């Protein structure tokens, strides 16, 4: 069974005004003191209005959900004690004021490198780590899941608002992140040697300072024996995060089966992958998506194609019933971006804040 781990990033906002609250260090410290939380499970992020949680290694989706509920509870309680709330949204719903950079050498260096990009890096994702036996297998898997990454982005879209306005994009976070030197859909790699050689060349250029700035939407982890899928916005609800953990694990498992069977790796045109990702970020599930072959279809049909693709792996893991039910609910109720827009139409930015808080926080 492939083990998984999940990282979630949240915004901190003032409880009274809904404006960003620069209490990341204080929230991390307070949450880390909870008796049921390990210090390494709570992290500060680049900007002080953000905080990140990291689950332990999980063997089941039930474990993933339990840990995320526990960590959201800890962060929510710490935030409430400081007069703020957490928002599980990819971008701030209200106008974003200036927020200080977290006082770490790496973050200060990033600010010197790209001050405006850092100032606007108020974006939150969820990252799923799936265990792979070695780096060579990891690259095989990476090449094979690339054509599906944009479908995950469309399904996870939860960042339609920026500076208090509707961007017209379902996942504006995807566009914000794509401005860094090494970002977007990862390229095709011949093997792990090719992967490592090309990352070293990127480091040698000086455009990035470390491998943490390899912001591809999926990459090999340099710290863990995992493949890290980074293309999803943070989710409103924990069970939606669980759904994506199950889908990523199933994609990785299916790719490993194909590799073992000697199936050829797909090599779609890179411009088609980029166009597919842009379209997914633009529309979410509200318009057509490109399928892995680059052909346009209704979004629901492309999602059904993904479910057929990963079906055997979901069945083997015992995740099929739970993940299918959550996907059906997503297709029925819409993405987080859809729900944010519905709330905004009814009551403006304050209603969006209330809606996100109601489903993001754990009592």
Pair 244, 232: CB distance under 8 Å: yes
- What's the rounded mean pLDDT across residues 88-95? 94
Give the 3-state secondary structure percentages of the chain, helix then strand then coil, rounded to 5.
50, 15, 30
pLDDT of residue 332: 97
Q: Is the pLDDT of residue 337 over 70?
A: yes
Residue pLDDT, tens place only, 28-85 = 999 887 788 888 899 999 999 999 999 999 999 999 999 999 999 999 999 999 999 9
pLDDT of residue 26: 95
Residue pLDDT, tens place only, 138-165 = 999 999 999 999 999 999 999 999 989 9
Q: Is the pLDDT of residue 96 over 80?
A: no
3-state SS track over 58-83: ECCHHHHHHHHHHHHHHHHHHHHHCC
In which domain, by residue range, is 185 found?
A: 4-360
Using pLDDT thresholds of 50, 70 and 90, give the confidence band for residue 362: low
What is the DSSP code string of 324-341? HHHHHHHHHH--HHHHHH
In whole angstroms, give the CA distance from residue 282 to residue 285: 9
Residue pLDDT, tens place only, 223-256 = 889 999 999 999 999 999 999 999 999 999 999 9
Whole-prediction pTM value?
0.97
Alpha helices (H) along 133-237: 135-145, 149-156, 172-177, 192-205
pLDDT of residue 363: 52
In whole angstroms, give the CA distance from residue 350 to residue 355: 9
When the pLDDT of each residue in the chain is averaged and rounded to a whole number, the result is 95
Domain count, the chain: 1
- Give the CATH number for residue 220: 3.30.590.20
């Amino acid at each position: 069974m492939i083990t998984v781990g999940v990282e979630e990033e949240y915004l901190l906002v003032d409880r009274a005004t809904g404006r960003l609250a620069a209490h990341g260090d204080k929230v991390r410290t307070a949450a880390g003191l909870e008796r049921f939380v390990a210090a390494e499970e709570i992290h500060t992020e680049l900007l002080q209005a953000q905080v990140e949680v990291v689950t332990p290694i999980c063997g089941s989706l039930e474990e993933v959900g339990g840990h995320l509920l526990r960590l959201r509870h800890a962060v929510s309680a710490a935030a409430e004690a400081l007069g703020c709330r957490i928002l599980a949204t990819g971008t701030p719903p209200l106008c974003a004021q200036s927020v200080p950079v977290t006082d770490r050498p790496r973050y200060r260096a990033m600010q010197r490198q790209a001050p405006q990009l850092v100032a606007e890096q108020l974006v939150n994702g969820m990252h799923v780590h799936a265990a792979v036996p070695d780096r060579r297998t990891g690259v095989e898997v990476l090449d094979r899941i690339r054509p599906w990454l944009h479908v995950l982005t469309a399904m996870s879209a939860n960042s339609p608002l920026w500076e208090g306005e509707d961007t017209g994009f379902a996942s504006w976070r995807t566009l914000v992140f794509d401005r860094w030197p090494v970002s977007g859909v990862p390229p095709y790699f011949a093997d792990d040697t090719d992967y490592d050689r090309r990352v070293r060349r990127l480091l040698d250029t000086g455009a990035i300072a470390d491998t943490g700035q390899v912001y591809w939407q999926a990459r090999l982890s340099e710290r863990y024996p995992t493949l890290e899928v980074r293309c999803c916005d943070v989710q409103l609800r924990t069970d939606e995060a669980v759904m994506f953990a199950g889908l990523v694990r199933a994609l990785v498992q299916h790719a490993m089966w194909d590799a073992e069977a000697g199936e050829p790796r797909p090599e779609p045109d890179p411009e088609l992958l980029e166009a597919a990702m842009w379209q997914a970020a633009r529309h979410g599930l509200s318009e057509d998506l490109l399928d892995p072959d680059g052909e346009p279809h209704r979004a629901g049909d492309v999602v059904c194609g993904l479910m057929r693709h990963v079906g055997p792996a979901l069945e083997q893991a015992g995740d099929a019933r739970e993940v299918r039910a959550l996907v059906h609910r997503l297709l029925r109720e819409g993405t987080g971006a859809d729900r944010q827009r519905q709330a905004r139409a009814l009551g403006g930015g304050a209603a969006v804040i209330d809606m996100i808080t109601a489903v993001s926080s754990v009592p």
